[in-house]
């Protein structure tokens, strides 16, 4: 079960008198999500076999929006309500492009649903609430401190991510609730900005605007109805010297082609690449999964070229199994 033995400091909790909607009702829609993944699953070594986070009920039939890494390859899913009930769930869908995931409750939740809001209209300086499962003492008042591009080292890119501060300490799948009581996003990461003396912790939030155009596909097919993006299976990071491959996915396309940890990325094909957003955009523009790309690298200071046959990331993952 989700650990309930923590509280957000009272001075940071939202005050019901400050909001024009029923705050307590809205926070009842935010639940805990706990999943169990087989030890031999592809993501088990990196993401763990027991994963705990949050989600938001978005339909009264028990459909829950969460962050996808919580439910990837999950064999068991439990939804934990604010009053401590544990209801089994099914990992319904995971959209690797946005990072969002859907869970369907297999029992009656009896909870209100949060209406999806207009995350595109959310501006820097706007006040909001980041809420984890468990009511007001697990919610924090926050402000939007950034709307900008975010590139993840795991072949991931958001064009207009939401950044909020102060950060919620239990951010995974947490609900971003706007001043109108509507759901605006789902918590993905905690990031740090600044140095040790003036550091600011922020949450990176995936906007719900990315869910709207794919929701029907996810409900009907379990994935978006478009060709999967080409996937290399690399974890790339920016450093002072450029782009370095920090790690490789086991049995992934890049590893199978002979790419090595520590290789520096110069470009793809005849295009030079200098940053993560440029790397992922160039990769995804090369065609659907299965397309061949030429990685230009340096290894021990010497230039090399490695041709990689990309893959569909989903083919490496266990499909969700209904209870």
Per-residue tens of pLDDT for the chain, all 323 residues: 345 578 999 999 999 999 999 999 999 999 999 999 999 999 999 999 999 999 999 999 999 999 999 999 999 999 999 999 999 999 999 999 999 999 999 999 999 999 999 999 999 999 999 999 989 999 999 999 999 999 999 999 999 999 999 999 999 999 999 999 999 999 999 998 876 677 889 999 999 999 999 999 999 988 888 899 999 999 999 988 799 999 999 999 999 999 999 999 999 999 999 999 999 999 999 999 999 999 999 999 999 999 999 999 999 998 766 54
Instruction: Give the list of residues 6+ apart from residue 180 with CB closer than 8 angstroms, or none.
Output: 20, 21, 117
Kindly report the CA angle at 85 between 137 and 187, in degrees rounded to 5?
50
Q: Which domains does the chain have, with CATH numbers?
A: 10-113+215-221 (2.40.10.10), 119-210 (2.40.10.10), 234-316 (2.30.42.10)
Q: What is the pTM of this model?
A: 0.94
**End-to-end CA, the chain:** 18
Task: Please tell me the distance from the alpha carbon of residue 172 to that of residue 77, in angstroms, as a whole number.
Answer: 15
């Amino acid at each position: 079960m989700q650990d309930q033995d923590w509280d957000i400091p009272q001075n940071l909790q939202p005050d019901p008198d400050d909001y024009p909607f029923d705050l307590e009702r809205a926070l009842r829609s935010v639940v805990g999500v706990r999943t169990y993944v087989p030890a031999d699953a592809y993501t088990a070594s990196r993401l763990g076999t027991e994963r705990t986070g949050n989600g938001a009920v978005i339909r009264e039939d028990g459909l829950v929006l969460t962050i996808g890494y919580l439910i990837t390859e999950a064999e068991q899913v439990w939804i934990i309500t604010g009053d401590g009930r544990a209801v089994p769930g099914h990992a319904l869908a995971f959209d690797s492009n946005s990072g969002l995931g859907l869970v369907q409750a297999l029992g009656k939740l009896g909870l209100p649903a949060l209406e999806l809001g207009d995350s595109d209209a959310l501006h820097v300086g706007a006040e909001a609430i980041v809420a984890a499962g468990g009511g007001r003492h697990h919610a924090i008042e926050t402000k939007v401190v950034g709307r900008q591009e975010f590139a993840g080292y795991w072949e991931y890119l958001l064009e207009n991510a939401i950044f909020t501060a102060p950060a919620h300490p239990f951010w995974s799948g947490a609900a971003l609730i706007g001043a109108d009581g509507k759901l605006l996003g789902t918590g993905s990461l905690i990031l740090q900005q600044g140095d040790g003396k003036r550091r600011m912790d922020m949450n990176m939030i995936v906007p719900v605007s990315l869910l709207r155009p794919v929701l029907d596909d996810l409900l009907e097919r379990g994935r978006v109805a478009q060709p999967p993006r080409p996937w290399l299976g690399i974890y790339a990071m920016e450093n002072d010297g450029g782009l370095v491959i920090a790690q490789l996915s086991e049995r992934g396309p890049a590893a199978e082609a002979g790419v090595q940890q520590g290789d520096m990325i110069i470009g793809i094909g005849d295009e030079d690449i200098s940053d993560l957003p440029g790397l992922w955009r160039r990769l995804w523009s090369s065609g659907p999964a299965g397309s061949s790309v030429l990685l230009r690298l340096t290894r021990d200071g010497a230039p090399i070229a490695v041709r990689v046959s990309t893959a569909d990331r989903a083919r490496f993952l266990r499909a969700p199994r209904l209870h």
